[in-house]
Each structure stands twice: as structure tokens, then as C-alpha cells.
Amino acid sequence: MDNIFIELEKRDILSRMCEKAILIGIRESGETVQKAESHLDELEGLVHSLGIPTAGSLLVNLKSIHPRWLLGKGKVEEVTQVIADLDADLVVFDSDLSPAQQRNLEENWGTAVIDRREVILDIFADRASTREAVLQVALARMKYSLPRLTRAWTHLSRQRGGAKGNRGKGETQLETDRRLVLSKISNFKRDLAKVREQRDVRRKKRLERPVPSVSLVGYTNAGKSSLLNAVSGSQVLVEDKLFATLDPTTRRVEQTGGREFLMTDTVGFIRKLPHDLVDAFRSTLEEAVLADVIIHVADAHSHELDEHVKVTENVLRELGSGDKTRLLVLNKCDSLTKDEREALSFRHPRGLLVSAHTGEGIQTLLDKLGARLDASRPIVTLHLPPDRWDVRARLHKESTVIDEQYDDEGLTLTVRLNSEERGRLSEFLVDV
């Protein structure tokens, strides 16, 4: 393998080699301490998801950005002391670091330094299991690493006995490395296109039977997979970890009254989700937002509920589904006090209080969902003459038949049809 890819791989597993992390939260001007602290808590959750224990954390008021280190010189020295006191080998920033800042801080502190984006990329890399997810994450990682190649090269040249006097050679090498990575990126894109083609074929197959579709979207850890399990009685992986789900999982849900729908659980969102990841997962997410109804699941117990709702709405808008109607589910209501419930209902009058754990509110959710789906597929009556049994066969295969009655003149069917089907079968429609 080319050296550059070995270097990149080393970088990819860097955080996994670390044993004790210090977290640095940045309080931006105008941000409350409480909000900055809950962002820091979220970062701790992310780092924990990587399996790295946190030894300590610092909240820094950032008045101005120091181009070399992001932090001011005094702060950098303060952190040096904290690292020594706690014997940490990793420093994690909640905000983005430029490649140069990252390199300067690593050299200064003698520890690994990563930012929030890299943590999220690492988690996604750990979780990815299907070929599509693996490729998507690898692509996002490469794009993240490309501008950081200078740093990879610095490490490499040091190993080879110092960069001094070698500078010219180093830069030529850097160019070659860049080209190698770019060509790897285009290979990934080609492989991804192939995998997506296969998924499209599977999706089209599903669409041959026009069962309505519902997707679950929302902030990570909101309880989307739990809700899918509660509604469909299945056993999708549920974990108290951020980004437990990366690949969309679809389940068929059948209800009484001839209602059925496909419900898809999907990757969760998070604030400052790296753009490369949104891009990488765009095709999987777009499929989710194409659903007939979108259920936005939020964790009602979280202090940051409103921010989570906003982040999710923003990503949905970015994916082009900002105006599609959706149901807001305020999950985990079993953990709320009576007062909290009232306050929440006041703040989110349209939100449905639900608990995937106790089942509270699930029936109401299904009723609302049913009403939305029914509105798009009303019940109609069709009458088929005896020579059109082919239509009957097709209806049974492709639609939801609720009832059928034979008589002397043929067959009367009660069916649910969407507008496209109603148009196609208009000659058989009976006015009732």
C-alpha cells in the first residue's frame, strides 16, 4: 500500500489508541453557560460512544480566535498543565479546528488533538456495517483528511529522519499523495454508485406494491429505533449510544381495517453534523424524506429539546423536504413529571407525547398516522365485469383490498387507492 494510505489509516485509528481524554468546550459570545455546558455533555457522550473515558473538561470563553491555536496563549498553557495533572493523551475540541491549529496544538501538547467533526467521523466509521455505509463514511473521511495531508506528510518525513533539506522532495511527494487520494475518492464514488443502483432496484421492487411509506427522522438517541420496535413489534438495535443506527431499516406494519404501511428508521441527526457526512448520507436520507408521512421523533426528556428539533428541521430543509407535513413525536414522556408534561404541551401544542417504552401515546400516534395515510389513499368501491378478473388479480397484488362481494353482474370490491391508481381504474369506480 502507498505510504500515504498507511498514514491516513493511522490517523483514522488515532483516537482509538487513546486512553484518557480532556474535553474543551467553547462558549461563544451570547451563549448561556447552561447551553455551553450541555453542548460539552453531548461531546462527552460522543467521546464515550468511541469508548474513550473522559478525565476532565474545560469550558473556554472565546473572545477572539487565535489563528495559531484557536485558544489564547494563556489558555494553551493552562491546558498543558491540566494534561500533565490528569495524564491525558487526547484533547477533544467541541468546535472545528483548522488543520494547522490541530498540528500546532499536537506539537505543543504532545497529545493527539481532534475536533468534534473527527469524533463523529470516527463513530460513523465504527458503526458502519453495510457496504453502502462503509463506503459513505470512507468517502467523508477522505474528504476530511485531504486538507490535512500536510500534517500526515510532516509525521511521515519526521519518521524518515527529518524534513530538513528535504523540503522540495516533500512537496513533490505531497502532490503525488494528493493525486493518489483524489483517485481513491473517485474509486469510492464509483463503487458507491454501483451499490446505490442495487438499492434502487430493491426499492423499485418494494414500490411495485404501492404500500404507503412512513419515515422516522430526528436527533440521535431520540428513540427512533425504539419507536419502530414498539410499532412493528420488531427487534431493531436500540442503544443508549449516539448514532446506534446508520443504515435505514424498513419494517412492514399491518393494522386492522386493511391498513398497512412501511416504516423506515434512519440515521440520527446532530448539531454541527459534518457536511461531508450529510453529503455522504444524502441518498439514504433523501429516500427517507420521500416518504408519504415523516414522523419527527424528539427526546422530550432532553434539556436541549428545542435545539434538537431545530437542528432536525434544518437538515430536513437542506434535504428539500422543509414544507412536507410531519408529525412531531415527543418521545420518552414516561420520564417527565406532570408539570413538565404541561409545559411541553404548551410549548409544542402539536407534539404528541409518546413513550416507546411504556406504549403510552402509541395508539394515538397510529390513529393520527392512519388519518394522514387514509387521506392520501381513500376507500373507494369498484365494480368489475366477469371478463376483467385480471384487474382483480392485480388489485390483490398491488393494493389493499378490504372487502369483495360477488353478484350476477360481476364483482364489487372495496379498496384503498391512491390518486394515481384511482385515475388508472376510473372506468370501474362506483359512486357511493
Ligand X SMILES: Nc1nc2c(ncn2[C@@H]2O[C@H](COP(=O)(O)OP(=O)(O)OP(=O)(O)O)[C@@H](O)[C@H]2O)c(=O)[nH]1
> In angstroms, what is the minimal distance from the CB of 55 to ligand X?
25
The binder of ligand X chosen from 95, 145, 157, 221 (CB under 6 A): 221
* Span interacting with ligand X, options 80-88, 140-148, 187-195, 350-358, rule CB under 6 A: 350-358
Q: Do 299 and 223 form a contact (C-beta atoms < 8 A)?
A: yes
Amino acid at residue number 261: F
Question: 355 contacts which partner out of ligand X, Mg ion, none, CB within 5 to 8 A by kind?
Answer: ligand X
Of 14, 31, 38, residue with least CA distance to 115 = 14
The binder of Mg ion chosen from 157, 245, 331, 355 (CB under 5 A): 245
Question: 351 contacts which partner out of ligand X, Mg ion, none, CB within 5 to 8 A by kind?
Answer: none
Of 375, 431, 426, 420, residue with least CA distance to 207 = 420
Alpha helices by DSSP H, listed for 14-72, are: 33-49
Is 264 a binding residue for Mg ion by CB under 5 A? The answer is no
> In angstroms, what is the minimal distance from the CB of 50 to ligand X?
14
Q: What is the DSSP letter of 208?
A: T
Is 244 a binding residue for Mg ion by CB under 5 A? The answer is yes
The smaller minimum CB distance to Mg ion, of residues 298 and 413, is found at 298
How many residues make contact with Mg ion (CB under 5 A)? 3
> Who's near 85: CB < 8 A, 6+ residues apart?
none
> In angstroms, what is the minimal distance from the CB of 294 to Mg ion?
16
Distance, CA of 243 to chain centre: 7
Is 288 a binding residue for Mg ion by CB under 5 A? The answer is no
Of 425, 352, 354, residue with least CA distance to 395 = 425
Report the residue number whose CB is nearest to ligand X.
268
Is 225 a binding residue for Mg ion by CB under 5 A? The answer is yes
Is 126 a binding residue for ligand X by CB under 6 A? The answer is no
Neighbours of 186 (CB within 10 A): 9
The smaller minimum CB distance to ligand X, of residues 352 and 356, is found at 356
The smaller minimum CB distance to ligand X, of residues 100 and 238, is found at 238
Of 56, 137, 143, residue with least CA distance to 99 = 143
Helix (H, G, I), strand (E, B) or coil at 263: strand
Neighbours of 302 (CB within 10 A): 19
Cell numbers placing 38? 450541555
Is 215 a binding residue for Mg ion by CB under 5 A? The answer is no
Is 331 a binding residue for Mg ion by CB under 5 A? The answer is no
The smaller minimum CB distance to ligand X, of residues 26 and 246, is found at 246
What value does the CA radius of gyration of the chain take, rounded to a whole number of Å?
A: 27
Contact residues: ligand X, CB under 6 A: 220-226, 238-240, 242-245, 268, 331-332, 334-335, 355-357
Question: What residues line the site for Mg ion (CB under 5 A)?
Answer: 225, 244-245
